Structure 1
Amino acid sequence: MNRYSIMVAAVLGFSTQAALVTESVGYQVDGQEFQGYLAFDDRLASPLPGVLVVHEWWGLNDYIRRRAEMLAELGYVALALDMYGDGREANHPSEAGEFARASLASLPQAERRFNVAREQLARHPRVAGSPMAAVGYCYGGGVVLHMARSGAPLAAVASFHGSLTPKANPLPAGSNIRIAVFNGAADPLVPAEQVATFRQEMDAAGADYVLVNYPGALHAFTNPDADRVAAEFKMPVGYDEAADQDSWRQLQTFLKDSFE
């Protein structure tokens, strides 16, 4: 585990001593190479539920790898997937925006990128037929909500500070996927109107959902690196320790209930 991962673990109050196995997982989509990151606790008996983790617009970086490890510490097999290809990571908002826009320019292609990773996780011998969920952060939050609306075979999805606006069709009535949204009430990228419209969509579909709106929390409130990003790039983001810890506690209950 690198120094950044240890720092994140310390801020979030989690032990780095779990008997974790981590490995890079390579796969191809439409002829392009992708690099995911798999984590599980090899002390636990299989099969275990699988959880896909979708990165922020920065790409599959140390922060998302650590989130996959934290899910593995909870007893899941976690696969942080690569939505950009070739394991690309952005170092500047302009580059991140370019990567994100290109990845979503074709929604069918974006869905294939997600689903190939999902199939990789479903075939893993430690998952092997167990139910699966998906968790996404920022850009990834929008992705997992889109996959829920598209009918992906998942038990549940959870979005952290992600866009709530449908990228295509809204959630269909009768969908049995469970949905959790953890949002910053002070996030200018997800204004109150968007939150209200999302609630209307979920209610119209009769969805099994929870939406938690944290007062004063900004975009990227779960990422300890957000304050540095705000200062360096003059972006409206910021870490909120209380919202981060509460949303993580609620996620644990949400996943446990979804897999029962």
Structure 2
Amino acid sequence: MAITRTIHMHDGPGGPFESMAVGDADAGLQPGILFFPNFFGTKEWDFAKAEVLAGLGYKVLVVDYYGQGKRGTDMESSGKLLQEFMADRALVKRRVLDALAELKALAGVDAGKLGTIGFCAGGKCVLDLARAGGDILAGVSFHGVYDPPPFPNASITAKLLICDGWNDKLNPPEAKVALCEELTAADVDWQFIAYSRTGHGFTANGTPLNEDRSFGFQPDTDRRSWAAMTAFLTETF
């Protein structure tokens, strides 16, 4: 197995975009996974995770949803980029659907077996792609954000796994329930796992867990949620 990284340039509103294709070029046709980063944008952490996914038998596209050269360097700069991006949910919808089209076009991707995972703002992208009717079979959100866009959803056909920190103040209990009610009303095949002693950003190794456990790395939850994702994708594909 020879897993490689290849810069994948693509256009669209706000572009050009510099995403990263990760996979084993010699493996033949494989399921494709869209990988949406957290609000810092694409970085080494994402590429390394994508290589782990590729080792499990997937072709992966790590999505640049901000635009080439637009990357967060700290909480403040990342927050500004995210605010600008999320200010127009119709644009978010367009970009995630465009990213799906780019994944389909990658060499070696089985266009009938597509999925997506996302972290933080990337989890919101996963949900918005499903809400937009993207033809994915599976979507996984890690400590995402749950507020729906201000326009009607398309028919959601994807199975969804939401991995959530119970102490996450960005998603208080009423937001968690609202998402589950939204997905139930849409007759979605969904799973929602809320982890105790866990807040937002529980996959962000290197970020200390704060005193009230509402933000920061939680190694047990990081491990358990990745295992849940692996089982979910294996069952789907």
TM-score for both structures, normalised by structure 2: 0.92
User: Counterpart in 1 of 2:172?
Assistant: 191
1:57 corresponds to 2:35: no
| Structure 2 letter corresponding to 1:205 | A
Shift of 1:111: 2.2
Structure 1 moving runs of 4+ over 6 Å: none
1:217 corresponds to 2:195: no
Q: Deviations over 1:197-255 (max 9, x none)?
A: 11211222221000000001111101203229x69xxx952111111111111101111
CA RMSD of aligned residues (A): 2.0
Task: State the SS of the aligned residue for 2:11.
Answer: strand
| Structure 2 letter corresponding to 1:177 | A
Task: State the SS of the aligned residue for 1:129.
Answer: strand
2:187 alignment partner, one of 200, 206, 211: 206
Q: Which moved more, 1:140-149 or 1:98-107?
A: 98-107
User: Counterpart in 1 of 2:53?
Assistant: 71
Higher percent of residues as helix: 1
| Structure 2 letter corresponding to 1:257 | E
Within 5 A, what are the aligned runs for 1:127-138?
A: 127-138=109-120
2:71 alignment partner, one of 55, 65, 89: 89
User: Counterpart in 2 of 1:155?
Assistant: 137
Gaps of 5+ in 2: none
1:110 alignment partner, one of 92, 96, 111: 92
Shift of 1:35: 0.4
Give the Cα separation in 2 of the matches to 1:88 and 1:236: 28
Aligned residues: 236
Check whether the contact 1:47–1:130 (CA below 8 A) recurs between aligned residues: no
Check whether the contact 2:100–2:134 (CA below 8 A) recurs between aligned residues: no
Shift of 1:175: 3.1
Check whether the contact 1:36–1:87 (CA below 8 A) recurs between aligned residues: no
Q: Which moved more, 1:52-61 or 1:111-120?
A: 111-120
1:25 corresponds to 2:3: no
User: Counterpart in 2 of 1:252?
Assistant: 230
Shift of 1:116: 2.2
Identity %: 27
| Structure 2 letter corresponding to 1:60 | T
Give the Cα separation in 2 of the matches to 1:87 and 1:136: 20
Check whether the contact 1:29–1:116 (CA below 8 A) recurs between aligned residues: yes
